[in-house]
Chain A
Amino acid sequence: MVLTGLSLAGFAFESGTGPALPDNRAHISLQTKTVTVTGTVTEPNGNPISGATVVIRGTTKGVVTDIDGHFSILVSPGETLEFSFIGYKAEAKEITAAVNLSIILQEELKTVEEVVVVGYGVQKKATLSGSVTSVKGTDIEKSPAMNVTNSIGGTLPGLVAVAQSGEPGEDYSSLYIRGRSTLNDNSPLIVVDGVPNRSLERIDPSTIESVTVLKDASAAIYGSQAANGVILVTTKRGKAGKMAFTANFTAGLSRPTRIPELTNSAEYATLVNEVDTYDGQDPTYSEAEIEKYANGSDPWSYPNTDWFKEVLKDWSMQSNANITMSGGNENLQTFVSISSRSQDGFFKNSASKYAQRDLRANIDGKVNQYISISVDASMRLEQRDFPTASSSTIFRSLMTARPNQVAKWPNGLPGPPLDATSQDNPVVQATPDAGRDESDNYVFNVNAKLNIKIPWVKGLSVTATGAIDRGLDYQKDFSKLYSLYTWDGSTLGSDGLPSLVKGAYGSSSLIQRLDISKEYLFNTLVSYQRTINEIHDINLLAGVEVIENNSNWFSAERRNFTSDFPAELNFGDSNSQYANGSNPGKNRWLNYFGRVNYAFGNKYIAEFVWRYQGSSKFASDTRWGFFPGISVAYRISEEDFWKNSNISKTINNLKIRASWGKTGNDLIDPYQFFSLYSQYWQHFITGDQTSHSTYYESLAGNVKAQWEEARQTDVGFDMTLLDNKLSVTADYFNNLRTKILITQTASVPAMTGMSDILPDVNLGKVRNRGFDFELAWSDQINNRLKYSIGLNGSYAKNKVLFFDEAEGYLDWQKQTGHPMKSELYYEAIGVFHTQADLDKYPHLDEARTGDVIFKDVSGDGKITGDDMKRTYKNIVPKWTGGLTLSCEYNGFDLTALFQGQAGAVRYVQDLGGKDVQNYFKSFYDKRWTEDNPNADYPRTFNRNDEYWVSSENPNTFWLHKTDFIRLKNLELGYTIPSEIVNKIGLENLRVHVGGLNLFTYSPDMKDFDPELEPKGDGFAGEGYPLQKIVTAGVTIKF
């Protein structure tokens, strides 16, 4: 089809302005009688195609169709008319007489060779030699998640997504390609439309054409940033043809996937009494009081509060509206998308909210047959509202608040602070009554591309790309005092009701902050593409690129506002004002890179990619590195012996691939080579009351610091079977990561004074091995039921080959030789059910019946730090996978994505305490008591008083497996028959319902979502829970 487009320039257009070339045959045709042929060219659904070419075969004479698809042309009988348009199969019609034709062009699907986006270009999928996988934007759009990183988990083999939070505006998943290979940052490089470091998270899914993952050494063209894999995002572009509008509106409801069940007042009081008994004290609560908690007869004095219920809504709203326009003609194509999305927090009268507005315009234009220009511009506004108390504070409060304390008094007024030492009551703190932390983040991404085909060398072209990105995040965090009501428990008012005392809590301050981030990129590529003798395919690329990014911020604060309005800095107390700011400096990269790709007869394929890269993060004599990648492929199914044998009937295509390469990871703090001195946040006040900035050694420099180095090997195959209905791809990988930058905190004693200022040293060594696979089956039954099933999975296991470890580490404490990032734990082997157990096992002096038994690993008859042992498991799963099901029947379509993982663990310790913290119901049910001595769980504890709940004694009792299977996405749609919608002027109308995280099975993780990776101190996985979302929506095309 491309050829059709290119040759158009050579035609004489009756209606056009193209160059009129001499045509001898035109003179001949004048001598015969001509007839006028008219007609329309349409798509199968009846839409006219404007701009289609109608040419008399063998001549350069032709016309193009008008806006309604009409044409009119003079033809000699016996001549043949050819109808063509980009993206459609050409049609031909022999003309015998004057006639009015209705030509229907079928969309050309199979014949367009599938291409895959790779670094700095695209490649035919058939002759790809690297391990590359991709997912279409349309599949991502099916997820109601607001963040793309939460949508792509389970869709791609080898891509692991670990959810971090469900908070609107803060929800995201950490992405790992083929698990983790380094002890440091494992984040893959994200490249959006050729520009690195753009956000994948917040990109509008309706503008995504495809997401491609480079998993192996084919990423070496990205050099020292490629070792963790590269994710390439390509946005949609306009297609020539009638302007097509698609509008979509989806509304949804969300709620937490899981919240832990906690004890009620009576149960809590029972536990507190047990703590008292163990402490040798009188019980805090009498039987009568516990009875009052249980029967709820006196809600003022004996409340029974379900804190989650008091603070969280049943369902929270979200919505997503989007309109895209796509269309154009041969010379100018545009794609425009406008979106608006919003999501409410889980809280009642929530101070937590997120809204996003997107505008994208991608324009492609052709100046002449040699020069084309593309300009892409996108603007995004991310509006985040948060409570002034962090959501982790609020959820921690909800989990820990005592049930026998009121959230709200029976008369509706908010209750007292959670305890005497706090200002906290989440009933108020989750709402704007305590103020609001609002930020508007503006993201501008602009890039332009100039492509020149060198006329005098066939196949040679030069492309220059420039990109300018800006981010402006403007934050206004206004905390205000709020009222809480306390009651002394006895004083009654004149109305006989308890008289509440109003008090002001919280604090009053306004912090305004502006963050600016800037990035520019400029590159020039020279590419050469030739097929010689129809058998040698040569593809060459070379380029040079500069990239710079930097950021800075400043903030200003005033406290003690006299009133809640106006919330502007000058209304605060000028005696309490603070300003701050920082500019970490510029990161710059200078890159030379290239690719040599050679295919012999479409059978033997070899590719070499390279990058020579310099980075400002490192000292001048260590900053340059060369990163090569080699891959080869053999399409055995293209051999004649294969084609001629019966096996080709079963295995239609088979390609075997192998690759090796060296890449780097430079995701470390820059300037490790300097000895650095920083300003301390606190000032020193001398006797004369002057305030002095102070400086301290913040980094002991390491002049040799460099990127980490990865040697990646990959062997795999792609095949299609059974009439191409089944496709199978599988890869084995073996990645060796060396020069891993580690701070030697484990081996350098604190006594050196360097504990907090250790530089990164290129010392670590990790091997990461595994495999990933993808199976896809698609078929149709009776032409009416179309269905497809996709299964993907991956397994990655790493092993530390060298690591910084303390000299005195015992064998069972070493990381070396085992999977990395696992912690030291005491091994909990049960509970001391009876005194006999205590006598039997070595134990700490303070241990008693009902405590957790720590295993005496060292066998010395004592429990000491020597008995801590590594588990060799961590929060990143070894096994991950996804199962996609989709089918279409009679206008109905159904898509389901199941996601699963296995092999990861998470530390989830019960909180709980006598004066301040509630306990989990699961703990209450299973705990040891004198009456239940054979319990699985230990006795009731108070905060971290007992050795087995102390943060210094992490133990496997609290370690839970996070294995799960969940129905991640579900979408059911129905497309109204076109006969009906055409009548109301629409082309297509589809209604759909769907959901996210609708169902989860996780046998060992019941109180919390198994997918959530805890942030903060991570004691019990507190933090904003993940979302379960149900949606309904409508999509209209016109």
Chain B
Amino acid sequence: MKRIIPFIILALTLFTVSCNDYLDTVPGDQYDDAAVWSSPDLIEDFVYHIYQGIPYPYQWYMSASLVDEAVPIQNDGVVTRVLTSTMTPEEQGAFADNWATCMENWWWESVYTNIRSCNMFFSKIESAEFTSEARKEQLIGEVHFLRGYFYYLLMAQYGGVPLVDYVINIGDDYNIPRNTFKETVDFIVADLDAAVSDDRLALQTDKTRATAGAAFALKSRVLLYAASDLYNCNASWTSGYSHPELIGYVDGSQADRYQAAKDAAKAVMDLGAYNLYNEYSDPAENFQQLFLQMSSAEQIFITQYDKETFPYWATDWLAWVCGTPSYGGWGLNQVTGNLADAFENTDGTTFDFNAQKNDPYSNRDPRFYATILYNGAPWYVNSWGYLSDTNIDISGADSNSDNTTGYYIKKFISPGENDYYYGSRQPEPYIQIRYAEVLLNYAEACLGLGEEGPAREAMNIVRERAGMPDIPSSETGSDLLKRYRNERRVELAWETHRFFDVRRWMIAAEAYGDATGVTYDGNTYSSFVFEHHAWNNSHYFIPIDYSEMQKNTALIQNPEYN
């Protein structure tokens, strides 16, 4: 008994003495601030995460299904609101966090989260110690590129946005107004220039990360956007909007902007680092293979997909969700007749469905055969592990319960590796920026400047690779402009350009007409209206979220909403 009492007293004392250390525990599966910013390796891993914020188009609903390139087979508010131009600040459809992850990473919230990461990096990197100063400088260049990329995503959707270049903390003033469109473009350009200044990215050759070429190419895209009609029409499409400076230029000359866009594209061309992919003699096969290369000289900026930790939605996602039913796909996003009909005939003439409906799929632009699966196209049927050659039959097994446009996507899908979601994954990267776009950017800028010769020349390089004849030198003016726009539509189909192109060209009213499909009765094809779409001018820009407006009362909404 007497021996126990001292023991208890001792135990009590021990508690008390050791109490301070006793309560100091640390989380077992996270790093704290100091650990990350003192380790160059962890800093690099932090930057890798910022790269993961670059949008990736393969989703349940493809961005192609938000414009006239594709139609979603399951209608849902996510896409319907965009296609019928009924988005409101309360309901932004695909442009706010949605279950279908359509436009994921384009969303206001995600983009600003990624911008915060960039700003966090800039706030910490100065004091971080690196053994290699070059490595540190390169990371700084990469993050400038990334921040420029994220602001470009916002600019394309909203016009001028609040330009935040610092880390906002809890309790700061959140009422930050929108910058003007001009300031936004200048900010992006400044970031892209900073990315390459002091040769920061000179040694970077990894195209999954920012390279000098990628920074130049993105700059060409951004400056081309800035020079486009939508931002240079003084908001003529809306009446009485009191802040036109938020959605376009209110002074200066459009020609100067085209010149800047042309120079930026030329800078990429002058690098001599890129070339159009041209390895197969058959132009259709060549164009198909372009997207099935691990690397090529046409790639400027790419995203590799993580097949290990995220195997279900890999690059073969398209085969899965957009593939033909007989192939085992879900046919969720199907190519529109509108896009299919945009492909010219081999001789460079415009395709005319009514005239050619008895034999619509002969003698078409080789890119047609590499991009679209049509009735009778050879493809592979997957019988759970075995691939066998067959033909698409839109009146039979490929009808997808009679709910089909008659066209499925072929571009990007590797028939060889694609064993659907049980087999090995398609390993090829998605090409975010490729050289053909730069050539087309150059052509468009030249057209804007009235320099039709160089424009035609640049387009012909693209057409030549595609196996298409040169544009007749007699073609000028609006005909040439129309040809250019069609060329860009066909070459860059489903690559997330069209949605913004029809807006900045201000041809959206036409693009949001009826979506068509084809049926086949065994003898002849007929076109039908698959779905009615509608256009409302408000939809030149995406509405800013209602609750965001409530939280930041300095924000001004885009025109024609409310």
Contact = CB atoms under 8 A, between A and B. Distances in A.
Contacts of A808: 549-551, 553
A365 interface: no
B176 to A, nearest CB: 7
A584 B108 contact: no
Interface stretch (A50-58, A696-704, A888-896): A696-704
A752 B108 CA distance: 11
Interface in A946-966: 947, 950-953
B283 interface: no
Interface string B399-424: 01101000000000000000001111
Interface in A704-727: none
Nearest to B36: A677
Contact of A750 (B30, B88, B112): B112
Interface string B27-55: 11111110110000010111011011000
Interface stretch (B246-254, B305-313, B437-445): B305-313
A687 B48 CA distance: 12
A915 B31 CA distance: 48
24 contacts: A584-B29, A588-B22, A590-B19, A590-B22, A614-B23, A616-B25, A677-B32, A677-B35, A677-B46, A683-B308, A687-B304, A688-B206, A692-B48, A694-B45, A696-B117, A747-B551, A749-B174, A754-B168, A761-B170, A806-B550, A808-B550, A864-B89, A865-B547, A943-B77
Given A676-B30, A865-B88, 20 more contacts: A507-B422, A559-B311, A584-B28, A588-B22, A590-B22, A676-B27, A678-B30, A682-B52, A684-B49, A684-B52, A687-B304, A698-B30, A749-B552, A750-B548, A751-B164, A751-B168, A761-B170, A864-B546, A915-B403, A945-B80
Contacts of B164: 751-753
B182 interface: no
Could you say which of A688, A697, A701, A759 has the most chain B C-beta atoms within 10 Å of its C-beta?
Answer: A697
B271 interface: no
B456 interface: no
B80 A695 contact: no
A587 B27 CA distance: 9
A931 interface: no
A702 B171 CA distance: 11
Contact of A686 (B23, B208, B325, B548): B208
B28 A759 contact: no
Contacts of B424: 575
B74 A915 contact: yes
Given A686-B206, A687-B208, A807-B551, A544 B12 contact: yes
Contacts of A755: 109, 113
Given A585-B26, A676-B31, A421 B74 contact: yes
Contacts of B553: 807-808
Contacts of B76: 943-945
A702 B169 CA distance: 10
A559 B422 CA distance: 8
A695 B45 CA distance: 6
Given A676-B30, A701-B33, A759 B170 contact: yes
- The contact size tier of chain B is 35 or more
Could you say which of B19, B45, B209, B421 has the most chain A C-beta atoms within 10 Å of its C-beta?
Answer: B45
B338 to A, nearest CB: 19
A753 B91 contact: no
A263 interface: no
A111 interface: no
Could you say which of A560, A685, A942 has the most chain B C-beta atoms within 10 Å of its C-beta?
Answer: A685
A953 B309 CA distance: 35
Contacts of A687: 205-209, 295, 302, 304
Contacts, number: 273
For chain B, what secondary structure do more than half of its interface residues adopt (helix, strand, loop), or is it mixed? Answer: loop
B25 A753 contact: no
B4 interface: yes
A504 B386 CA distance: 13
B550 A689 contact: no
B304 A751 contact: no
B550 A682 contact: no
B318 to A, nearest CB: 14
B32 A675 contact: yes
A559 B312 CA distance: 12
Given A676-B30, A695-B46, A748-B551, A950 B77 contact: yes
A507 B401 CA distance: 24
Contacts of A583: 28-29
A185 B81 CA distance: 37
A684 B562 contact: no
B15 A420 contact: no
Contacts of A462: 5, 8
A953 B92 CA distance: 11
A674 B26 CA distance: 9
B113 A524 contact: no
Contact of A945 (B75, B113, B120, B321): B75
A836 B77 CA distance: 28
Could you say which of A454, A688, A700 has the most chain B C-beta atoms within 10 Å of its C-beta?
Answer: A700
